[in-house]
Amino acid sequence: QVQLMESGGGSVQAGGSLRLSCAGSGFTYRLSFMGWFRQAPGKEREGVAAISNDMRTKYGVSVQGRFTISKDNAKNTLDLQMSNLEPEDTGMYYCAAAPSWQSFDRNAFLRGAYDYWGQGTQVIVSS
């Protein structure tokens, strides 16, 4: 059974940093691309960052240069280092995993490409 569990959320002031982690079990990380999504109150869930099984990365425009996604296949973890946080970064952050047959280049930020989702971790950035 595939399980994804996020941790590391919290409250921080604008300009601060947080590191989110996602621990996965029940599937082979190397065969999937993975991503971080977020959902702010009243808004749709949006892709933030994604990483392919060969370690290529993609970032949303609003987080480019501030967030860094990384994956450790040996530890089965997916991380998101968030720096210079802004109030607009507030939301519930989810990690997700997609099967290897999905195209990372076309579908990295397509919610429907991901089969597995964690429960989410809350990030609050105050001004």
User: Given this model, what pLDDT does residue 32 score?
Assistant: 75
Kindly report the CA angle at 39 between 33 and 41, in degrees rounded to 5? 175
User: Given this model, what pLDDT does residue 127 score?
Assistant: 95
Mean pLDDT of the region 20-31: 81
**Residues 47/48/52/53 CA torsion (nearest 10 deg):** -100
User: Given this model, what pLDDT does residue 4 score?
Assistant: 95
User: Given this model, what pLDDT does residue 37 score?
Assistant: 98
**Res. 29: pLDDT tops 60:** no
76 or 112, greater pLDDT: 112
User: Given this model, what pLDDT does residue 100 score?
Assistant: 77
Mean pLDDT of the region 101-126: 95
User: Given this model, what pLDDT does residue 102 score?
Assistant: 86
Q: Which of 57, 124, 120 is nearest to 90 (CA)?
A: 124
User: Given this model, what pLDDT does residue 70 score?
Assistant: 97
Backbone angles phi, psi at 8, to 5 degrees: 100, -5
Q: Which residues pair with 81 in a beta bridge?
A: 19, 68
User: Given this model, what pLDDT does residue 28 score?
Assistant: 65
